[in-house]
Copies of this chain bind each other. A is one copy, B any other.
């Protein structure tokens, strides 16, 4: 990586605000390394032009080295923008078009971060795990339909699609990560009810486990995982799960490790054929947009995942350490968006 081209999609709501700080930190940790290209996509673009993600833009994006995304999506109750239009037309479109099979979501409870959990449950324990969420299948394929829409006889379906190809690669990725960490991998599913998908996930998990005898494995139903996550999140090292369960459990994981304002994520294309994408787990939070109060930490930490992915782990660790040190120094104090960005940028420089 001498010079790398990063596509920046700030998106909606607080997205552009937090992304600006992420880019600030990335530039501070690696000056003269990145070329940034801004893409004006999201709610405003759609309202102005009716375009969500033009084909020409998708084509251009194919050739960048990585994508830094802020957040996408109108307010849930918005009347101007149909529900999910931007999420599906932009965020999910990119995840699917660029085959982002591995949706990586680390959760670390940094010292000094206020957690909603009772002190006794986390004191003296290390909460540091990563969820490997499948990113290209499951209920996210848009494979549903409806008949007799708008009538009392309406029937609406949603189909969860699971292939061995898709499951195998994410499970294998998770085993590798577990092996490189504390050697523990947990599969989350609901195979007592979702028997077809469950059998496939179980088979892939069991088969690949045989190749990783040094990784300890266990299984939790997704409902039981909710309890485990709040009573003892320190039990987890690596978690692997499908697209929807991953969506749900990572928000809970973020909440117990200090909130969605700190949760970073990477959408990784496993073959390198397409650019990977780095984004905070949080959404566009329209309610606090424009106030300068959004926490950019998650967006900044996502840049560490980007650096890891581009083969610069030493720079990635500098961001991680700066984030951790800054959070400790803040001690729960609420700082503004640019203030946090400036502080972390100064630390990594």
Question: Residues of A with Cβ closer than 8 Å to B?
Answer: 73, 76-77, 83-84, 87-88, 92, 114-119, 121, 139-140, 142, 144-146, 148-165, 168, 190-200, 202-203, 219-224, 226-227, 230-231, 244, 247-252, 254-256, 259-260, 283
Contact = CB atoms under 8 A, between A and B. Distances in A.
Contacts of A221: 76
B157 A196 contact: yes
A193 B236 CA distance: 28
B252 A226 contact: yes
Nearest to A153: B164
Given A116-B118, A252-B252, A155 B145 contact: no
Contact of A84 (B119, B191, B250): B191
A198 B256 contact: no
9 contacts: A88-B195, A144-B196, A146-B196, A157-B162, A159-B160, A160-B160, A223-B247, A227-B252, A230-B256
B88 A192 contact: yes
Contacts of A88: 192-193, 195
A166 to B, nearest CB: 9
A192 B73 contact: yes
A83 B230 contact: no
A144 B201 CA distance: 14
Contacts of A140: 193
Contact of A202 (B83, B162, B203, B283): B83
Contacts of A164: 148, 151-155
Nearest to A121: B116
A195 B230 contact: no
Contact of A157 (B191, B197, B244): B197
A197 B156 contact: yes
B146 A160 contact: no
A92 B193 contact: yes
Q: Pick the most buried of A115, A152, A195, A227: most chain B CB atoms within 10 A of its CB.
A: A195
A195 B152 contact: no
A163 B151 CA distance: 10
Given A139-B160, A227-B260, A230-B116, A84 B247 contact: no
B161 A159 contact: no
A193 B162 contact: no
B159 A163 contact: no
Contact of A255 (B119, B197, B231): B231
Contact of A77 (B161, B219, B259): B219
A311 B155 CA distance: 34
